[in-house]
Chain A
Amino acid sequence: AQSVSQHNHHVILSEAASLELGCNYSYGGTVNLFWYVQYPGQHLQLLLKYFSGDPLVKGIKGFEAEFIKSKFSFNLRKPSVQWSDTAEYFCAVRNGGATNKLIFGTGTLLAVQP
Chain B
Amino acid sequence: GAGVSQSPRYKVAKRGQDVALRCDPISGHVSLFWYQQALGQGPEFLTYFQNEAQLDKSGLPSDRFFAERPEGSVSTLKIQRTQQEDSAVYLCASSLGRSGGAQYNEQFFGPGTRLTVL
Chain A residues close to B by CB (< 8 Å) = 4, 32, 36, 42-46, 49, 51-52, 90, 92, 94, 96, 99-107
Q: Which residues of B contact A (CB under 8 A)?
A: 31, 33, 35, 40-45, 48, 56, 59, 91, 93, 95, 97, 102-103, 105-112
Other A-B contacts than A43-B111, A101-B59, 18 sampled, CB-CB below 8 A, are A32-B102, A36-B109, A43-B109, A43-B110, A44-B109, A46-B106, A46-B107, A46-B108, A51-B103, A90-B42, A96-B102, A100-B56, A101-B33, A101-B48, A102-B33, A102-B35, A102-B45, A102-B93
Is the contact region of chain A dominated by helix, strand, or loop, or is it mixed?
A: loop
B residues in contact with A42, CB < 8 Å: 111
Q: Are B91 and A44 in contact (CB under 8 A)?
A: yes
Do A100 and B33 touch (CB < 8 A)?
yes
Distance in angstroms between the alpha carbons of A95 and B109 in the assembled complex: 19
Out of B31, B40, B42, B43, which one reaches A100, CB within 8 Å?
B31
Question: B41 is contacted by which of A46, A52, A94, A107 (Cβ under 8 Å)?
Answer: A107
Distance (whole angstroms) from the CB of B72 to the closest CB of chain A: 16
